[in-house]
Amino acid sequence: MYETYFALTASPFQLNPDPSFLFVSKGHRNAHAYLRQGVARGDGMAVVTGEIGAGKTTLIGVALGEIDPSRIIAVQLVSTQLDAGNLLRAVALAFGLSPRTAGRAASGATTAPANGVGGSFIAAPGGRAAERANGRGAASNGAAGNGVNGSGEGGSGAGGNGAGSNGAGGNAAGSKGASINGAGGHGAGRNGVGIHAEGAKGPAASASAADAAENADLIARIEAYLVGLALDGRRAILVVDEAQNLATEAIEMLLRLSDLHSGHHPLLHCLLVGQPELRDLLRTPSMQRLGQRVDAAFHLGPMDREETRAYIEHRLLRVGWTRDPKFEPEAYAVIHRETDGIPRRINTLCNRLLLGASLEDHHTITGIAATEAAAELRLEIDYDERPGTRAAINPARKGPAPAPSHSAGHAFTESALSARLDRLERSVEAMARLVEKIA
């Protein structure tokens, strides 16, 4: 509503990521350079971390938008909690490969094509299948087995134009890929992928073997797809957002996927994006191998006071701001102090400030107004937060102010509620005047 009042063409402080509003602070500029370096090299892994609302998603959107889709296929995976199997299914779906097992989907994740995804999976009669990666066929043999006694005869790995990719084999000596033998043998697969099922009995063992077989099959078909891209002179990038939530086994699976090569050239470049917990995870001894694979890493920190002011004005100018409303210097200082220079927090507070100014028919944003708006947000979002803390605006801030007495807390609450009621009454009156103007 304040957009109309201040003659703005759109909302300047929307909370959804929008690459067109990207403000290039020093931190964003450096992170962007790291991303471009990682994409250009195309090997290893790149990692970008930052606080919630620091602008990671917007930055990734800009970086992916610069990619030439005729040379690079980029897909994005937004994860919550994924185990290895669900991660593989999500990756396969992101690249347009449907899992063979009907009805099984990667729960807890959503996938989105970043710049157009080619490839589809088409089943063929007789246990054979063809994966078409941008017009190049990569055939893979399904395991030929005896449905009566469960013994399997070796299936060969998928090949595309002579570039072999590994498929799921049975109990056949020397067959590539992950070998599955459910009746007292074991298979030696590529990268040490072998499922030993000797003496396995019962539903749990059968389910485990089935999951392992499905994972091996998915890896083989993902590799076949990536090989097809390589033969076309193209390559793939996998972006995993919220990567701090991945299970350890899922991270290990990402390492396996990043190990896929065609000759001396890696087939997949992984970009991990997450909150600061991801950076802490990479420093743990158990993740040493993953840390060694990271060739570009950057932590996106908060903006300083000057950048906060430039950020606010940048977004306002994007929507036709003509210095109405005017921001007093103290207002910028308060906004930075209350938000710690985190973009999403700045957007939340500025939205409240502009709305309040429009309702009260004000054309100047003062430091007092910014302080009051921040106090209102704390009251609304974290009502039980002790007086003197800013957790609602800045949940990352550690250590609240010294605890006041019980009576002081009540006095603060009553005073804040009274002030808010006064503002609401004035807002209703201002809204009525605004409606009359619009009418």
Q: What pLDDT band is residue 169 in, cutting at 50, 70 and 90?
A: very low
Rg (CA), the chain: 28
> Chain centroid to CA 52: how far?
11
Q: What is the pLDDT of residue 389?
A: 41
Q: pLDDT grade, residue 195 (50/70/90)?
A: very low
In degrees, to the nearest 5, what angle opens at C-alpha 264 toward C-alphas 243 and 224?
Answer: 65
Q: Which of 20, 34, 60, 26 is nearest to 307 (CA)?
A: 26
Q: Output b/e per residue, 61-78; b: 16+ Cβ within 10 A.
A: bbbbeebeeeebbbbbbb
In angstroms, the CA 281 to CA 118 distance is: 33
Q: Is the separation of the CB atoms in 120 and 147 below 8 Å?
A: no
pLDDT average, residue stretch 228-235: 92
Q: Tokens 């396969």 belong to which residue?
A: 92
Distance CA 394, CA 375 (A): 12
Burial of 35: CB neighbours in 10 Å, binned 0-12, 13-18, 19+? buried
**3-44, pLDDT tens digit by residue?**
999 999 999 999 888 888 989 899 888 888 888 877 877 777
Which tokens belong to 108? 């807890």
pLDDT digits (tens, 9 = 90+) for 83-101: 889 999 999 999 998 765 4
pLDDT given for residue 186 in this prediction: 38
What the chain holds in terms of domains, given with CATH numbers, is: 26-134+234-302 (3.40.50.300), 135-221 (no CATH), 304-438 (no CATH)
Higher pLDDT, 185 or 45: 45
CA distances from 299 to 56, 66, 296, 310, 380 (A): 10, 21, 11, 21, 31
- More confident site: 384 or 368: 368
* Sheet bearing 268-274, strands edge to edge: 109-113, 72-79, 235-241, 268-274, 45-50, 294-300
pLDDT digits (tens, 9 = 90+) for 35-79: 887 787 777 788 899 999 999 988 888 888 888 989 999 999 886
Between 181 and 337, name the one with better pLDDT.
Answer: 337
With contact defined as beta carbons under 8 Å apart, do 271 and 38 qualify?
yes
* Most confident range, picked from 101-115, 125-139, 304-318, 395-409: 304-318
Contacts of 367 (CB under 8 A, 6+ apart): 328, 330, 331, 333, 334
Residue-averaged pLDDT of the chain: 72
The answer to whether residue 253 scores a pLDDT higher than 60 is: yes
Report the pLDDT value the prediction gives residue 160, as an integer from 0 to 100. 39
Nearest Cα residue to 79 out of 250, 218, 217? 250
Q: Which residues pair with 239 in a beta bridge?
A: 76, 271
